[in-house]
Each structure stands twice: as C-alpha cells, then as structure tokens.
Amino acid sequence: MVDAPSLGGGADTPLRLEHLTKQFPGCLAVDDLSLTVEPGEIYGLIGPNGSGKTTTVKLSTGLYRPTSGRVLVAGIDLHAEPERAKQLIGYVPDEPFAYERMSGREFLHLVGELWGVPRERRDARIGELAGVFRIGDMLDGHVDNYSRGNRQKIALIAALLHDPALLVVDEPIVGLDPESAIRTRELLRQFVATGGSVLLCTHTLSFAESVCRRVGMLRNGRLVVEGALADLRGQVPGTASLEELYLHFAAAR
C-alpha cells in the first residue's frame, strides 16, 4: 500500500546533510549540521522551539538554499540536480496549506501531475490512500472547508502519492484525531518496512519514541546529541522515556 521504491543501483544513504549552514539576516538558524538517515530508518529530529528543526527540514527538501554545506538525497546533490533529487522526496510541511479554492481531489491530482504520476496511477493511489485516512467523502469539497486534521491528511496523501523513497515529515500528527495518528504511525512503519526512509521532525515525543530508531536533538541550530534511543538511555542511567532524555539533554547543554 505504501511501498517505497528502490533508490536504484549505486545509491547510498537516502539523506545525508553535510556541514549544512543556513544564515538568515541577523539569525544563524542552522550551524554546521551533519547527519544521515539510513535506509529503512525513521530518524527523529527533536528540539525546542527555534532550534532549527523546520529550517533543517526545509533545507532538506529544497525549500531553502543552504548558505553552505550540501544536502545529498540518495547521493544526488539537491541543489545541483534539484529535479532528480526531489523526484525521490515526499514532503509533509508543518503547516499543511493547500490551494483553498480547489477540492482535495483536484489538489492531489495537481500534486501527482507535478511529480509526473500517470493519471490512472493517481486515481488508484488517491482512492487507496483516502481509504486509509477515511477522507474519501471529503475529497470533492473545497479545501477551505477542511479542518486542520483533514488538511494534514491531504498533505500526507500528497507526500505519498508518487511513491517517494524518502519522506521528510514536519509535525505529522498535529491536528489529527487519535485514530488517524495511529494510522499515520502504522503508515510510516510500513513505509520503512518496504525500504523507505523518513526524516521526522516533531514535538510529540511519544510519537517519536514509538516510531524512531534514532533521534537527534537540535539546539541553536547545532546537533547536540544523536543516537539510537537505547544508546541514549544508556548514557543517562535512570531515564526511561524520550521525554526524560529530552529534558536531561535540554538542561545539560
């Protein structure tokens, strides 16, 4: 249902950020950040507000241009060959804005057209994914009438429509009802089980804990700690949850 395509022969790490820096006027948002997302992995990016998570996500999807450093998607430099690299990425933004005077179905077809998904395939995928999120009866209403949760579902479907190899997801369950949040979790697990990879940025630590193999914590644009959850717990005896780990590292640095 959410099979991820192969990255192709010779492809290495699905996502590699190399010494990435993003300087806005008067603000260093991301500072010499390097990390990798391995095949079949959900990598969680956590951190306080203003730590650079969303900027990192936007750099990783080509929405921002890096001041320095590189973003490699399956070995392809995102800013040197954006069309090739973006073909492999599915992106769910933190604010799931969609064209308000279009229906959800029209919007999804537009997204499919942008990624070159043939019409028959689009029809099938839209029907299939709308069934997963139980949004089929809303699809022909204008998006401006959708609740935030339904917009989030549309954004998730849009990201999966072209069978990406890498999902970059910014706050995927904000606004979703509990059932949809559970379905999203299962969807992400299934996606990586079939070879896909995910860079997940979230404040919902319980969600990150339930799906991520590794997490990285950002602070002031720098990666302050990174590793598998079990290893991190090992570093801080007495901590059981990601929430406790987060509070520990947030206080320690």
| Binding residues for other proteins (CB under 8 A) | 58, 61-65, 82-84, 86-87, 89, 91, 93, 95, 97-103, 105-107, 109-111, 113-116, 119, 122-123, 137-142, 144-145, 158
Question: Which positions ≥6 away from 220 have C-beta within 8 Å?
Answer: 28, 31, 51, 52
Q: Name which of 36 and 61 has its Cβ closer to other proteins.
A: 61
Least separation in angstroms between residue 93's CB and other proteins is: 5
Least separation in angstroms between residue 161's CB and other proteins is: 11
Least separation in angstroms between residue 76's CB and other proteins is: 11
Least separation in angstroms between residue 106's CB and other proteins is: 4
Nearest in space to 54 (alpha carbons), one of 45, 41, 43: 45
Residue 144's Cβ-count burial label (10 Å; 0-12, 13-18, 19+) is exposed
Q: Name which of 130 and 208 has its Cβ closer to other proteins.
A: 130
Task: State whether the Cα torsion 139-186-193-243 is positive or negative.
Answer: positive
Q: Name which of 2 and 161 has its Cβ closer to other proteins.
A: 161
Nearest in space to 131 (alpha carbons), one of 77, 78, 61, 180: 180
Least separation in angstroms between residue 155's CB and other proteins is: 9
Q: Name which of 1 and 124 has its Cβ closer to other proteins.
A: 124
Estimate to the nearest angstrom the gap between the alpha carbon of 87 and the chain centroid: 15
For Cα atoms 63, 193, 169, give the angle at the middle one, nearest 5 degrees: 20
